Amino acid sequence: MTDKGYKDGIFPTSRLRIAVTGKGGVGKTIISALISRVLSRQGRKILLVDADPAMGLSYILGAETDRSVGSFRDRVISEPQLKRELGSVRIKDVLIREALVKLHDAELLIMGKEESSECYCGVNSVLKYGIGSIASDYDVMLIDCEAGLEQIHRRVLNTVDTLFVVTDMSVRGMKTAIQIKKIVESGSAIEDCQRFGLILNRMKGDAAPLLTMAEEVGLEVFGSIPEDDHVTSLDREGLPIDNLSEMSSSLGAVRRILSSLNLF
Ligand SMILES: Nc1ncnc2c1ncn2[C@@H]1O[C@H](COP(=O)(O)OP(=O)(O)O)[C@@H](O)[C@H]1O
Ligand SMILES: [Mg+2]
């Protein structure tokens, strides 16, 4: 498999906007990191967005940083000089300078803590605009979501075209996935979702009962990722995803899923 360049005909011009959702602890962050690794090694320019306040993605990418959009917003509110600068230079340039984290094969925006209950709507909408204009510089934007349904309800994922909903082998994980499907189908949360499907993660043993649940509600299954000892070892040693062997079963499964969707 070649690592560089697009395959002919796949996204020569258009951008890909992916979000990874699901219940807490099912593997959203590791799967986001694996997707990023696969697509970046293909030569795509990737913007990762860590939209979970728990900020697990930066950790698994080995990015030790205290930069985030949330802490930048706090500084804009408390530092008049920074606020003035936002009015005079492009918000995009300031965000890149102050909040973007450059990794060796992707770039990362950590959203950080939630907006405070006080309303900073002006600042927030400026930041939203800035993030949108940063994203247009990338081939792929990949959002690792907060657990559950909240961000989908709040239309945070409004502009994604590809939504992966992840479950582990638990019925609770699957029930969350089914709820997400219902919200997406209601049409109120995402405008132009072209691909929506389930990834069954940490697969071992008999998946038939879960697959039946998916089938009963018409939830398309994009594929499964096995329980992977390589991932468990990384976890145990606290190592970033770069250390995962090319031969690991989880990475192979993610390649297969992306390939079956013509995304890789
Ligand atoms: N396929 C897998 N094989 C082994 N461990 C996994 C697998 N997927 C996820 N894990 C582990 O499960 C835990 C939760 O994964 P994480 O990606 O943080 O979930 P989420 O982001 O959905 O909360 C982590 O310790 C992660 O390493
Ligand atoms: Mg996570």
For ligand 1, the distance from its centroid to the CA atom of residue 88, given in whole angstroms, is: 43
Q: If pLDDT is split at 50, 70 and 90, which confidence band does 13 have?
A: very low
Atom of ligand 1 nearest to the CA of 250: 1
Q: Evaluate whether 65 touches 58 at the Cβ level (below 8 Å).
A: yes
Contacts of 103 (CB under 8 A, 6+ apart): 61, 62, 63
pLDDT of residue 89: 84
Task: State the chain's mean pLDDT as an integer.
Answer: 87
Alpha-carbon distance 82 to 72, whole Å?
Answer: 10
Q: If pLDDT is split at 50, 70 and 90, which confidence band does 188 have?
A: confident
For ligand 2, the distance from its centroid to the CA atom of residue 199, given in whole angstroms, is: 15
For ligand 1, the distance from its centroid to the CA atom of residue 24, given in whole angstroms, is: 10
pLDDT of residue 10: 37
Task: For residues 207-224, give the mean pLDDT.
Answer: 97
Longest pairwise C-alpha distance within the chain: 60
Contacts of 176 (CB under 8 A, 6+ apart): 22, 23, 148, 149, 167
Alpha-carbon distance 144 to 56, whole Å?
Answer: 9
CA atoms within 13 A on the CB side of 143: 28
Atom of ligand 1 nearest to the CA of 31: 17
Nearby residues for ligand 2 (ion, Cβ within 5 Å): 28-29, 52, 56
Alpha-carbon distance 224 to 150, whole Å?
Answer: 25
pLDDT in tens, 22-35: 999 999 999 999 99
pLDDT in tens, 125-155: 777 777 888 888 999 999 999 998 888 877 7
Point out the ligand nearest to the CA of residue 235. 1
Q: What backbone phi and psi angles, to 5 degrees, belong to 226?
A: -70, 160
Task: For residues 217-235, give the mean pLDDT.
Answer: 97
User: Would you tell me how many other CB atoms lie within 10 Å of the CB of residue 158?
Assistant: 14
Q: Tell me, using a 6 A CB cutoff, whether residue 168 lines ligand 1.
A: no
For ligand 2, the distance from its centroid to the CA atom of residue 143, given in whole angstroms, is: 11
Ordered structural domains, the chain, with CATH = 10-44+141-264 (3.40.50.300), 47-138 (no CATH)
Best mutation site among 20, 28, 50, 231 for ligand 1 pocket (most ligand atoms within 8 Å of CB)? 231
Query: Which of 154, 161, 100, 152 is CA-nearest to residue 130?
Result: 100
Alpha-carbon distance 57 to 30, whole Å?
Answer: 8
Point out the ligand nearest to the CA of residue 202. 1
